[in-house]
Amino acid sequence: MKALFYYFIFPGFLFSVVIGLLACWVDRKVTARLQWRVGPPWYQNFVDIIKLLGKEIIFPEGAKITFLLAPFLGVLSLGLVSTILGLNIIYPGQGFLGDLIVVLYLMTIPAIAMIIGASASANPLASVGASREMKLVLAYELPFLLSVITIILRSGGSIQLGNILAHQVSFGSNIISFSGAIAFIVAILCIQAKLGFAPFDISEAEQEIMAGTLIEYSGLPLAIFKLIKALLLYTLPIFLITLFWAKDLSPLFLIGKFIAILVIIILIKNTNPRVRIDQAVRFFWGKLTLVALIGLILAILGL
Amino acid sequence: MNIKLKALTKSLWVFHAAASPCNNCDIEILDVLTPRHDVERFGITLAGSVRHADVLLVTGVPNYKSKGILKRLYEQAPKPCLVIAIGSCACGRIMFRESYNSPCPVDEVIPVDAYVPGCPPKPEAIIAGVVKLIEKVKHTTSKV
Ligand code: SF4
């Protein structure tokens, strides 16, 4: 019973959806202000979701049943991520051994759900989007994992979120050190790609492949994909805070840090044009992996 | 008015369906979406795929080629889907009425909910048209 409450209400699904949709509004509002506009009201994303729930669900000819199942796969896994992260922050030391690994795996599932759904939709543009998404996943996972390994090394080889948090409480945030700061920069750029924000919104590219992976979705499944976006916008900054910046996690500091990371992501999104997929892969596997390796070596040296 | 309609009027995602216009109307539509007019304040955004669309903005006079495509686009959009005819061409074919390649006006191909005349209409006129469309949706219940 308690587990269900944790999973569905707080700090799991419902809570993170609400915060995520508000974060999406922050994204749209900051973008609007940067472009010298007023921007939408705070309830805009909620209205969008309600509207999408009321629309017709179109099942394209030639599509497979996985077309409808894929979004649920993504949203369920992200609900679990937000539950694990939230419980670790509220009750430190309650996690299980290896929950960091579980969270890392679960956070790739939305991208995989996107690929499955797009490939099942029998649309050529969606398959272009799916192939780009797949390459992007392969590209950003490497430096992202390297930066996570840096943190694991720094906290004495622990793969438990609770221990990483405890280590930071007693020895100061990871971001203060050299290796931690480098890993943080790498992780922020990888998260940009995980969220599908410019400059790495290649798989959704509105202007060239018309929403790519999402092109055939309408109504309820599209709403669920919007929820996945919102959940990612909540869980990924929280994950970063847990790993890098967790010295003080009292609610006020937590909200401040969350908004700070959000604004960094949005600023990167608004000041960079979209790169091509080959440029993105070269960037992640080349420069960024190199930087992440330097961070790793510094962590091994104990800096 | 039920919650579905209320949400629809507050979050209109428009899809740009150009049925062989002269392109001026399309430029005016893009003007509406620029920061100067900022229609995102009202939840209006441009959708890339017709499956996400709530409103089709139709411009131009359908010819023999684009007529069928326009009909198919309307069928592909998820219902409830509204249609606005933008420009005098889409409203009533103006000087192309007698043309050899103009079989019919837009509203004989798909049902049109609002007409915005002008050649091309100003961005303000287009916004006024959208407002009228929202008023119309508020007063009808048969559309959904
Ligand atoms: S109404 Fe005028 S501006 Fe618009 S498409 Fe027709 S001719 Fe061009």
Name the CA dihedral angle for A166, A170, A174, A179, rounded to a multiple of 10 degrees: -120
The domain made up of B2-143 has a fold known as Rossmann fold (3.40.50)
CB contact under 8 A, A51 and B54: yes
Give me the domain span that covers residue A295. Answer: 2-300
Question: Which chain A residues are closer than 8 Å to B11 by Cβ?
Answer: 44, 47-48, 51
Q: Give residue-wise pLDDT tens across range A112-144.
A: 988 888 888 878 888 888 888 888 888 898 999
A50, A207, A218 member nearest B78 (Cβ): A218
ipTM exceeding cut-off 0.90 for this assembly:
no
Q: How far is CA B73 from the centre of its chain?
A: 12
Distance from CA of A39 to the nearest CA of B (A): 5
Pair A95, A110: CB distance under 8 Å: no
Give dist(CA A51, CA A236) in Å, integer. 26
Closest CA to A301 of A164, A159, A185, A153: A153
Q: Contact at 8 Å (CB) between B132 and B105? A: no
Name residue B99's beta-bridge partners. Answer: none
Instruction: Tell me whether residues B78 and A216 touch, CB distance under 8 A.
Output: no
Going by CA atoms, what residue is nearest to atom 8 of ligand 1? B22
The domain segmentation of chain B, as residue ranges, is 2-143
State the distance from the centre of ligand 1 to the C-alpha of B24, rounded, in angstroms: 6
Contact A39/B at CB under 8 A: yes
The length of chain B is 144
Q: Tell the residue nearest (CA) to atom 3 of ligand 1.
A: B120
Report d(CA A164, CA B49) in Å as an integer. Answer: 44
Query: Which protein residue's CA is at the shortest distance from atom 2 of ligand 1?
Result: B119
Per-residue pLDDT 10s for chain A (303 aa) are: 777 877 777 777 888 889 899 998 998 898 888 888 888 888 888 888 988 888 888 887 777 788 888 888 888 888 888 888 888 888 776 777 778 888 888 888 988 988 888 888 878 888 888 888 888 888 898 999 998 988 888 888 788 888 888 888 888 777 888 888 888 899 999 988 888 887 887 777 666 667 777 888 888 888 898 899 899 989 999 898 888 887 777 888 888 888 999 989 999 888 888 888 888 889 899 889 999 999 888 888 877
Cβ of B80 and A222 within 8 Å? no
Q: What is the pLDDT of residues A209-219, one digit of tens each?
A: 677 778 888 88
- Structural domain count of chain A: 1
Q: Give me the residue from A37, A40, A54 closest to B7, CB to CB.
A: A54
Q: Do β-strands B82-86 and B55-59 pair in parallel, antiparallel, or remain unpaired?
A: parallel
